[in-house]
Amino acid sequence: MDTVIIAILSFFGFIIAYNTYGRYLARRIFALSSDNVAPSVEVNDGVDYVPTRRSVVFGHHFTSIAGTGPIVGPAIAVFWGWLPALLWVLFGSVFIGAVHDLGSLVVSMRNRGQTIGDIAGRMISPRARILFLLILFFTLMVVMGIFGLVIAVIFSIYPQTVLAVWIAMPLAVIVGWLNYKHGASLAVPAIVALVILYGAIYFGAYHLPLSIPGVELFAGADATLTEGLRSSVVIWTLLLLVYCFIASILPVWTLLQPRDFINSNQLLLTLALLGGGLVAARPDLVAPALNTPPPDAPPILPFLFITIACGAISGFHCLVSSGTSSKQLRTERDAHAVGYGAMLVEGMLAVLVILACCAGLGMGVYETQNGVLAPVTDTAGAPLAGAAAWGHYYSGGWREMELASQVGAFVEGGANMMSAVGVPLAFGVGIVAVMVASFAATTLDTSTRLQRYVVQELAAATGVKALGNKYLATSVAVIAGGTIAMISGPSGPGSGGLILWPLFGATNQLLAGLAFLVVAFYLIRHSKPVWFLAVPLLLMVVLPAWAMGYQVLGWYEDGNGLLVGVGVAVMILQAWMVLEGALLWRRAKGVLPEPLPPLNQSVAVSEGPAA
């Protein structure tokens, strides 16, 4: 099938879905209205609750939910063939993922910006609140550990990205300061920042790739420990966690909003370059529509729906919707564009990732030799191209697939397509790799902020007042994520975090099912229709539980007690919460939850201008 036709049909399909099904949900089901006071206006503390323009919140929301999810997931899932991956992205994002994100955002906005876990306590039961918050804590702990490693791996593989990713931080602070303190529009400073960012990408690609030489941090320590601590991946991870602590306690207008706005512009430009390259090159699909996987691969059902998370649906999105975005939208009507629309843009990104891995990759694969990109050749010395180029990444067994390889498949395939519109290959690799690293960094520090909220809500639910302190709660969040990242694995400290990666996929999708349950209870308590949630709720409860059960059996046979224990614990928590909901379902219809307590009048209200 022609790749350009696939891209065009997907693009217009998402536009139609946004203006039909999305508009129906926004107007008919959730009845979004500008007359309802948004939490950002009601609370407006100048730190977490800040009334903000839709375009800025859209940038934050999209870059936070995207991360590397819509890139790594589809890049792995095409292992089963491009057709099932494409169909799940298209239909999943329209009818399940975007519905999940919109529902979580609206329910949070109507509950003073509370997280979906806190809302579960009022919509279902107090026990459900604690169960949900525990699942959220574990999920975010793994997200922080893994995404920190993802960025560190990208820095190590593509040192040309380091300068641009780090220079984006002070640029964002300057843009935020101009906007919030001086009332300047974000548009012009953000465009200037984007130009500087691309200059840094070019300079990093051709003149200043940066890498950290391994250093021994503890003299006289165990040999395995010092080998791991000498790893640049470990050092980058530790530096990123320090950054996360600082970024997550700053007011959202200081770094989070302007950085995400710059990143969203970066994404739009990258998508334009990828789309233009696709039209100009018209690469053929070199991957099979349906691939027969090797015996060691998990079955396509249910694992396709677990592997492709953010590109179709992801439970992590309910945390962003209810954790940060709901506290920034200045009017309820904007939830349609941010909640439903951002998911469709992410779906389009996932489509382009599939095409880059299954078509763009066929234009050639490369490796760095003495600082210069050189084509990978076959045994006869000819550059790999076509199906052989795709097979270079996907012809091995499932266990041979690595994070670096799948990220590389998209980076190189995307750079190949950009080269068709005149972007030099080395510069194209830098552009795509910086986008991936920037998105992962956004998800990482947003996850730290969200984990702080979860720790504080757990403290309130259990009466541990000390953990209600912002700095202590953030410290707990960073230490927990760092502990996961530093678990010792085959290559020493820092490699063991990936041992828990299989748990993330299933747990993340289980979280989506539980979020659907909370949204469903909100609707039935307010006598709203819930028919449109029936299939998404069923799928996101059954498929992840099926996958988790399959994995637990495999881990038990392998003697991996850690994964078995954590997997069983998560399944018990999920089953318990679903049971809580089932017992209350009939009695909840039309029964409104207890009203929220009045605002603490001592909360300082910001006098700064709206962002």
For 370-398, write each residue's pLDDT tens digit.
556 778 887 788 888 888 888 888 877 67
User: Rounded to 5, what percent of the chain is helix, strand, coil?
Assistant: 70, 5, 25
pLDDT, position 229? 39
DSSP per residue, 531-553? GGGHHHHHHHHHHHHHHHHHHHH
Q: With contact defined as beta carbons under 8 Å apart, do 263 and 438 qualify?
A: yes
**Alpha-carbon distances, residue 557 vs 244, 387, 505, 560, 610 (angstroms):** 37, 36, 20, 8, 56
Ranges 41-45, 149-153, 187-191, 591-595: which has the least confidence: 149-153
Q: From CA 23, how far away is CA 15, in angstroms rounded?
A: 11
The pair phi, psi for residue 375, each rounded to 5°, is: -70, 145
**What is the pLDDT of the chain when averaged over all its residues?**
84
How many percent of the chain have pLDDT more than 70?
Answer: 90
Q: From CA 405, how far away is CA 391, in angstroms rounded?
A: 12
- Per-residue model confidence as pLDDT tens digits over 70-98: 788 898 889 899 999 999 999 999 999 99
Q: Which residue type is seen at 474? A: T
Q: From CA 115, how far away is CA 555, in angstroms rounded?
A: 32
pLDDT, position 268? 85
Structure-token pair, residue 26: 């926004």
**Alpha-carbon distances, residue 185 vs 107, 127, 177, 182, 254 (angstroms):** 30, 45, 11, 9, 14
Average pLDDT, integer, range 511-515: 92
Domains of the chain: 3-588 (1.20.1740.10)
Nearest to 426, CA basis, from 113, 152, 202, 175 = 202
- Per-residue model confidence as pLDDT tens digits over 535-578: 999 999 999 999 999 989 988 888 878 778 878 888 888 888 88
Band the pLDDT of 407: cuts 50, 70, 90: confident
Q: With contact defined as beta carbons under 8 Å apart, do 79 and 355 qualify?
A: no
Residue 488, SS3?
A: strand
| Alpha carbon 234 to chain centroid, angstroms | 22
Band the pLDDT of 402: cuts 50, 70, 90: low
Alpha helices in 337-424, H assignment, sequence order? 342-358, 386-394, 403-419
Burial letters for 517-531: b for 16+ Cβ neighbours within 10 Å, e otherwise? bbbbbbbbbeeeebe
pLDDT, position 602? 39
Nearest to 176, CA basis, from 56, 89, 62 = 56
Q: From CA 384, how far away is CA 377, in angstroms rounded?
A: 5
Nearest to 480, CA basis, from 138, 126, 181, 37 = 138
Candidate ranges 256-260, 291-295, 346-350, 400-404; pick with highest mean pLDDT: 346-350
pLDDT, position 502? 63
DSSP per residue, 167-214? HHHHHHHHHHHHHHHH---SHHHHHHHHHHHHHHHHHHHHT----PPP
- Per-residue model confidence as pLDDT tens digits over 313-362: 999 899 899 988 999 999 999 999 999 999 999 999 999 999 998 998 88
pLDDT, position 233? 72
pLDDT, position 265? 86
Q: From CA 590, how far away is CA 72, in angstroms rounded?
A: 42
CB neighbours of 130 closer than 8 A, spacing ≥ 6? 121, 458, 461, 462
User: Within a 10 A sphere around the Cβ of 569, how many other Cβ atoms?
Assistant: 13
Average pLDDT, integer, range 298-322: 90
**Alpha-carbon distances, residue 458 vs 136, 188, 490 (angstroms):** 10, 41, 34
Q: With contact defined as beta carbons under 8 Å apart, do 102 and 336 qualify?
A: yes
The helix or strand, by DSSP H or E, that contains position 433, with its residue range, turns out to be helix 425-462
Average pLDDT, integer, range 217-236: 50
pLDDT over 70 at 368, yes or no: no
- Per-residue model confidence as pLDDT tens digits over 516-535: 999 999 999 999 999 999 99
pLDDT over 50 at 222, yes or no: no
DSSP per residue, 102-165? HHHHHHHHTTTT--HHHHHHHHT-HHHHHHHHHHHHHHHHHHHHHHHHHHHHHHHH-GGGHHHH
Structure-token pair, residue 401: 């697939």
What global pTM score does this model have?
0.86
Structure-token pair, residue 402: 């690595």
Q: From CA 47, how far away is CA 196, in angstroms rounded?
A: 28
pLDDT over 70 at 279, yes or no: yes
pLDDT over 70 at 175, yes or no: yes
- Per-residue model confidence as pLDDT tens digits over 428-447: 989 998 988 888 888 888 88
Q: From CA 268, how far away is CA 272, in angstroms rounded?
A: 6
Q: From CA 357, how far away is CA 368, in angstroms rounded?
A: 19
Q: With contact defined as beta carbons under 8 Å apart, do 196 and 266 qualify?
A: no
Q: Which residues face 329 on adjacent strands?
A: 52
The pair phi, psi for residue 366, each rounded to 5°, is: -135, 160
Contacts 24+ apart (CB under 8 A), 209-218: 209/159, 209/160, 209/162, 209/163, 209/371, 210/159, 210/162, 210/163, 211/155, 211/156, 211/159, 211/162, 212/155, 212/236
Q: With contact defined as beta carbons under 8 Å apart, do 489 and 497 qualify?
A: yes
- Per-residue model confidence as pLDDT tens digits over 444-503: 888 888 899 889 888 888 888 888 888 999 999 998 888 777 765 555 555 555 566 667
pLDDT, position 223? 40
Structure-token pair, residue 539: 């799928």
pLDDT, position 507? 85
Average pLDDT, integer, range 184-202: 86
pLDDT, position 421? 93
CA dihedral in degrees (394, 396, 399, 405; nearest 10)? -40
